[in-house]
Amino acid sequence: MAFKIKKRKQGREYERVVADIVREFDPNVKVTEGKWVVGPDGRRELDVLIEGTTGGRPTKGIIECKDFNPQTTGPVGINYVDALDSKRHDVGAQFSLICSNAGFTSDAIRKAKRVRIGLISVMLKGDRRLRFAVVEDIYTRKVRFVSASLTLTGNTTINLTGVPFHEILYGTVPLASWIYHRIMLLIGSNPIVKGTFKASHALRTPLVFEWPGGSAESTNLTFRFTIEGAWYSHQVNIDSTAGIYDWIRRRVRVAPGNGQLEIKGLNIYEGECISLPPAQELIRESFLKGEVDMKLVLTEGLPIPGTVPDIDKYVAPEDLELCIPEVDAEISASTPTFTSSISQ
């Protein structure tokens, strides 16, 4: 009697771990591995099928899993993006992704971005089914605070000549603490490393500020600050206890509950000084649920704020906006002669 041995599909274990991590993100969706469906040209196998509802309407998504070997097969190329582009139309998928165990070529990333196919790698720390480490460049800034100045305005501009910056008080608290706090937020919220910046704040209620030998009621406070600095590139290993790395957005999404991000090999005090990071780093995109991004900044010369006076509640809300509307190359590019004195 002859026995027919059914061959186990290569990569089935990889499909299983991909499906498991997808379930971590939304236990309410139906996730099926190795599903066969009938398309216009015959049967098609879907490595991972995701079925759920969006806005009350049925939604179908597919994930093509590529359990490639980084050393032998190499990363997933553009031809696999082309193939999935065809398959998703055949099966009527609302969204589609390729999950790679070996990364992607630059051509594949470029094409996938254009045709709106997601490129991901899954992370499950310590799982032997995942053999490809996400090694990426991340970018940090070292910024030196140079100076700051303040203008108070009431019915007219208030004369502060000869008044030390830190001696102007709101109540018993230095106004400088609020200004330094705002400067820290502005630097952290914008991809800037050099230039002079102005922030003007209309007060909804006039406030009284005092200093030795004088006081004034103000309806507007404006400060200017100057910084210089540079960008630094670091190559790191990115991992997660349960997460997904998005190769197009270059961000990690961690699973709710037990997902934790881990960055290995980062020493923020070091890094390679570069003139400007990739354009993607300068784009301020909104975050998806569970998405994590790091914008690390080391500052020097900026005084650490003490108690911050509660002035925000008196400021017109639009004047508390942190994002600078236009960030051009002139204020984003590293200061050519910058040398940081920051060390561990």
DSSP 177-213: HHHHHHHHHHHHHS---SEEEEEEEEEEEEEEEEETT
Count CB atoms within 10 A of the CB of residue 193: 23
Distances (CA, A) of 280 to 77, 179, 247, 264, 309: 22, 30, 12, 22, 36
Stated pTM of the model? 0.79
Residue 304: what pLDDT? Answer: 85
Distances (CA, A) of 305 to 148, 162, 227, 342: 14, 22, 17, 19
Q: 83 in helix, strand or coil? A: helix
* Contacts of range 173-178, beta carbons closer than 8 Å, 24 or more positions apart: 173/306, 173/307, 173/308, 173/309, 174/306, 174/309, 175/150, 175/209, 175/221, 175/309, 175/311, 176/303, 176/305, 177/305, 177/306, 177/307, 177/308, 177/309, 178/305, 178/308, 178/309, 178/311
Strands 251-254, 214-240: pairing is unpaired
Residue 9: what pLDDT? Answer: 54
Residues with pLDDT less than 50, the chain: 1-8
Q: 59 in helix, strand or coil? A: strand
Compute CA 123 distance to the chain's CA centroid, rounded to the nearest angstrom.
18
The residue assigned the tokens 């236990």 is 27
- Write the pLDDT tens digit of every residue in 316-334: 999 999 988 877 778 889 9
Q: Which domains does the chain have, with CATH numbers?
A: 12-132 (3.40.1350.10), 133-240+263-344 (no CATH)
CA-atom Rg of the chain in angstroms? 27
Nearest to 224 by CA among 255, 186, 196, 264: 196
d(CA 163, CA 100): 62
Amino acid at residue number 277:
P
- Write the pLDDT tens digit of every residue in 218-233: 999 999 999 999 999 9
Residue 69: what pLDDT? Answer: 85
